[in-house]
Amino acid sequence: MKQKTILKTLVSRFLILILNFGLVIYSTNMWGSEGKGVISIVIADLTIISFFANIFVGSSMSYFASKYRIEEILPFAYLWSVAIGISVPLIFSFNHASEYSGYLMALSVLSSLLAANVNLFVGQQNMKMFNLYTVLQQVIHIIFIVIIVYAVKITSVDAYFMAQISCFGVLFLMSTFQVLKYCNLKQIVFSKKTAGQLFDYGWKIQLSTFLQFLNNRLSFYFLEYFRGIVNVGIFSIGVAFSEAIWTVSRSLSVVLYADILNNKNSNEAIEKTKVSLRVSFLVTLLFIAIMLMIPARLYSLVFGKDFSQTKEIVLYLSPGILAIAVSNIIGYYFAGINKLRILNVKSVIGLIFTVISSVFVIPKWGIKGACIITSVSYCLSSALLFWRFYQITEFHLHDFILSRAETNLLLKKFLKK
């Protein structure tokens, strides 16, 4: 695994982290806990829809990018994006009518089309373009919010979604131009065999991802049902911190995944996984410690008086945050070698615990209960993945401790950068 690629990916993810928190701070102060709750629910719905879309536009695009020509896989991804992006939001509108359903449909189509192009870059090991577009999704979103709020004078929460739609549209056009430079439109084919392989790999990995998402977000819906949308907004800030801390883990996971897809040496893949695992573990532990050292009053000052519980939420989520940081790495290893069953099993275990516990705990304990349930669910599912990984390799304590040589190398690369 190239240290330069890892470092660039980490830098891009940290930039995304900073921009994302700037956006979170702005949205909480601009639209309050209720507005943040609306944003959280719509984005949660969008994420659910993306799991269906990602059967063709997600990891399957990355996995088969080195096995098929662009002309053989990209048409399926685009057609699937439009079909799912329109049909699933329509189904959602029958179950819970929302004034934001139109935004949800536009976001679904455009985000899926963009994801197809970006995941194609990952499969081609073009991490430069992958990193560029992940950063631009935050930068351009913020630019459009500024334009819509301060130039167009739309100050409602609609501005958030209008800006995001504009962002996805612009980036899709930009990325499509770059993709089509290496694509001969005359050679586009629709093969039943290719579609079948894309679907078979895609639904298996997306089932695991979807179940894990439910572990991550089901508490939002239980909180909304039992305690109201304001509690969702408050809880979502703690969850945002969790996902911010996972920046390192996800960065390493994407680079590892791209590397494993193009590497046939199984022993080398395991060793690279262990290196990524210990970097993720130690850096995540450091970030959690920093978050917990920040005074509770500072969270209220930054996010607004409604968010005084943020430090307590982060504290309760901490064990689960650390567990997921480790299991993200191992999960991408199994995805890279096409061993997807264990990912589904671990997600089902976490989901069963979340559903059963939420019904009894959240009505009584509210946000605190949601935090505890989420953290325990993360730990249970991660423990199973950890156990399975170390069935096929030896466990050593130094898997979680950076060697002096690795530490010096990281410092050298960082200071050079």
**Domain count of the chain?**
1
The region that residue 263 occupies, defined by phi over 0 for left and psi between -120 and 50 for alpha, beta otherwise, is beta
Helix 127-146 × helix 247-261 angle, to 10°: 140
Return the pLDDT at 85. Answer: 92
Report DSSP state, residue 339: -
Q: What is the DSSP-derived secondary structure letter of residue 401?
A: S
Per-residue model confidence (pLDDT) at position 1: 47
Place of tokens 């850096």: 283
- Global pTM value: 0.68
CA atoms within 13 A on the CB side of 91: 12
Residue 393: alpha-carbon gap to chain centroid: 28
Q: How far apart are CA 277 and CA 2, in angstroms?
A: 16
Range of the domain at 383: 3-416
In angstroms, rounded to a whole number, what is the distance separating the alpha carbons of residues 36 and 142?
16
Amino acid 395: pLDDT: 65
Cα dihedral 401→406→408→414 (10° resolution) = -100
- Give the residue carrying structure tokens 């990325």: 175
Would you give the distance in Å from CA 346 to the centre of its chain?
A: 18
CA 190 to each of CA 58, 85, 114, 193, 196: distance values in angstroms, whole numbers, following the listed order: 19, 21, 21, 9, 11
Running DSSP on this structure, what letter comes out for residue 390?
A: T
What pLDDT does 86 receive? 92
Per-residue model confidence (pLDDT) at position 219? 80
pLDDT by 10s per residue, the chain, length 417: 455 666 666 677 677 777 877 887 788 888 877 787 788 788 888 888 888 888 888 878 888 887 788 888 888 899 999 999 999 888 887 766 567 888 999 999 999 999 999 988 888 778 788 888 888 998 999 999 999 999 999 988 899 999 999 999 999 999 999 888 877 777 787 888 888 888 888 887 777 777 777 777 778 878 888 888 778 778 877 777 777 777 777 777 777 777 776 666 777 778 778 877 887 888 888 888 888 888 888 887 877 777 778 888 888 999 998 998 888 888 888 877 778 788 888 888 888 998 899 889 989 888 888 889 989 998 998 899 888 888 877 766 666 666 666 556 555 544 454
Angle, helices 310-336/247-261, rounded to nearest 10 degrees = 0
Q: What is the pLDDT of residue 6?
A: 60
End-to-end CA distance of the chain: 18
